[in-house]
Amino acid sequence: MKMMFHYNWMVREEWFKSCEQISEEDLLETRTGGVGGILKTLFHIIDVEWSWIRLLQGESDFQEKFEQFRSLKKVRELDAAFRPEVQEFVNRWEESMENRILHVPRHDGQIAAYSWGEVMRHAAAHEIHHIGQLSVWAREIGKVPVSANLIGRSLSKQQ
C-alpha cells in the first residue's frame, strides 16, 4: 500500500511540472468528466487524500473550496502543506491498522463503517483514477501526458 502512495506522489509531482507548460486558461477550463478541469482535479486529489487521512486520525477534514486555490502555485502550496502529515501517516502504516473501523456520517444521516485498509486503498485508487482523466485532457490540448507506469520508478527501493 505504501508503494501506491509513493507512486501517486511521484506522478503528482510530474503533473505539477507538466502543468507549468500549460496556460492558466487551459488549466482552469471546464472539461467533460471528473470534477471538471485540470487544476480543479489536482486540487480535488489533494483534498480527498488529506481529508481521508485526517478522518482516520480522528481530525476534521478539509472544507475549503477550489475558488480559493485557482492557480497552480496555490494548489502546489496546498499540497506542500498537507503532504507531510499524509506521508507521516502512510509511512507509519502497519498491518495492525488494517482492520480498524472508521465510522463516517453519510449524506442521508446514516453512519457508514469502513476498515482503515479499505479507506487507504480507496484514497490511493482515487488519485490513480483522476490521473487517467488528466491524461485524456492533456492529449486534448496537444500535450504529452505524464507516464502512468509504475514499473521502472524504483519504488520498491523506497519501502
Grid cell at residue 40:
480543479
Angle at alpha carbon of residue 151, lines to 150 and 157, rounded to 5°: 90
Three state DSSP letters for 83-131: HHHHHHHHHCCCHHHCCCEEEEECCCCCEEEEEHHHHHHHHHHHHHHHH
- pTM, 2 dp: 0.94
Question: 65 pLDDT exceeds 70?
Answer: yes
Sign of CA dihedral 105, 107, 108, 109: positive
Question: 48 pLDDT exceeds 90?
Answer: yes
Sequence length of the chain is 159
Identity at 124, one-letter amino acid code: A
> What is the per-residue pLDDT across 103-153, written as a single tens digit (0 to 9) for each?
999 999 999 999 999 999 999 999 999 999 999 999 999 999 999 999 999
Question: 55 pLDDT exceeds 70?
Answer: yes
Of 100, 8, 4, nearest in space to 55 by CA: 100
Domains and CATH numbers, the chain: 2-158 (1.20.120.450)
159 band by pLDDT with thresholds 50, 70 and 90:
low
pLDDT for res 100? 98
The CA distances from residue 62 to 26, 82, 120, in Å, are 26, 10, 17
pLDDT for res 135? 96
Question: 62 pLDDT exceeds 80?
Answer: no
Identity at 74, one-letter amino acid code: K
Match 492533456 to its residue by C-alpha cell: 138
Grid cell at residue 61:
477534514
> For 145, left (φ over 0), alpha (ψ -120 to 50), or beta?
beta
Backbone angles phi, psi at 37, to 5 degrees: 175, 165
